[in-house]
Amino acid sequence: MTACQSHTCDLRSTVGKAAFQGGVPIVVALSESSFFRSPSTLACAASKDELIAAFLDWRHDFWIRWFVETVEARFAERAGLSAIADALGEWFAQEDYRGCSFINVVVEAGSTGDPGHLQQAVSHKQAVEQFIAGLASRLGLQSPAPVAAEAMLCVEGMIVRYQMTHDATVVESGRRVLARIEEAATAGRRKVKVAERQSGRRPFPIFPLSLTTRVATVPDRLAAVKLTRLSWQDPLIVVPHRMIRLPSYPQVILSSPLN
């Protein structure tokens, strides 16, 4: 390994520590650190932007690993999206908590920031969202991807809110919001299952073609009633030129034999 490669390996962890010293904003911390000013570091990192990129790479790997392990441990104790809030609560309680590094970099750089840093932030958030979607899928929630998108709004809000207020109630509030998201997705899933069961219990009679019929269109409710009372003396439900099977009745053709 060359000296430059060795310094590149050290770069990610060193700038990570520098970024959190005394709550100094990340860009200032990186530019003022003795490690940044050293000739060996400057030889490996051509610019401050490269140092920030190295830090974000390190932070993504470190934080995602911690987040997944912590959430999984909470999830094993009690399966639910609230495990996310519990994990964030542990993060908030750490002495060096300074908010989300990716949010901080984007906010501090503004519209003039390095596009590469923005892409790193987007990729980081996508990884978190994909993990939450996996949790939603394991919980059997309807539409895991939209559930994860909604949960991310709560997660981001908790992170920024606690960074501003250091109010412990943020965790409990986030837990309730995540529980509501889970409850809504569970209710949606339950409705789908009920509808499927109801559809499956409907009779599926097969009626022969009748060429001597009077034809009229009837609404769904009337069609269902007619089906429950069907006999050879009752009106027949037919479609010209073929046998039919009726899994549902949004609109049917009601016909009766001509006298």
3-state secondary structure the chain: CCHHHHHHHHHHHHHHHHHCHHHCCHHHHHHHCHHHHCHHHHHHCCCHHHHHHHHHHHHHHHHHHHHHHHHHHHHHHCCCCHHHHHHHHHHHCCCCCCCCHHHHHHHHHHHHCCHHHHHHHHHHHHHHHHHHHHHHHHCCCCCHHHHHHHHHHHHHHHHHHHHHHCCCHHHHHHHHHHHHHHHHHHHHHHHHHHHHHHHHHCCCCEECCCCCEEEEEECHHHHHHHHHCCCCCCCEECECCECEECCCCCCEEEEEECC
Q: What is the pLDDT of residue 170?
A: 98
236: which strand partners? 255
Q: Is the pLDDT score of 72 beyond 80? A: yes
Domains and CATH numbers, the chain: 56-195 (1.10.357.10), 206-257 (no CATH)
Convert the pLDDT of each residue in 140-162 to its tens digit: 998 999 999 999 999 999 999 99
What token pair was written down for 168? 């412990």
Contact criterion met (CB below 8 Å) for 160 and 148: no
Highest-confidence segment of 14-28, 65-79, 106-120? 65-79
Give the Cα separation of 1 and 4 in Å (integer). 8
Threshold 0.85, pTM exceeds: no
Higher pLDDT residue, 221 or 9? 9
Q: Is the pLDDT score of 57 beyond 60? A: yes
Q: What is the pLDDT of residue 244?
A: 42
Q: Is the pLDDT score of 231 beyond 50? A: no
What token pair was written down for 158? 């908790």
- What percentage of residues in the chain have a pLDDT greater than 70? 54
- Confidence band for 259, pLDDT divided at 50, 70 and 90: very low
Q: Could you give the C-alpha distances from 40 to 10, 15, 51, 52, 98, in angstroms and in order? A: 11, 14, 13, 17, 29
Q: What is the pLDDT of residue 50?
A: 84
Higher pLDDT residue, 161 or 213? 161
Q: Is the pLDDT score of 215 beyond 60? A: no
Convert the pLDDT of each residue in 19-44 to its tens digit: 555 444 555 555 555 555 555 555 55
Higher pLDDT residue, 213 or 122? 122
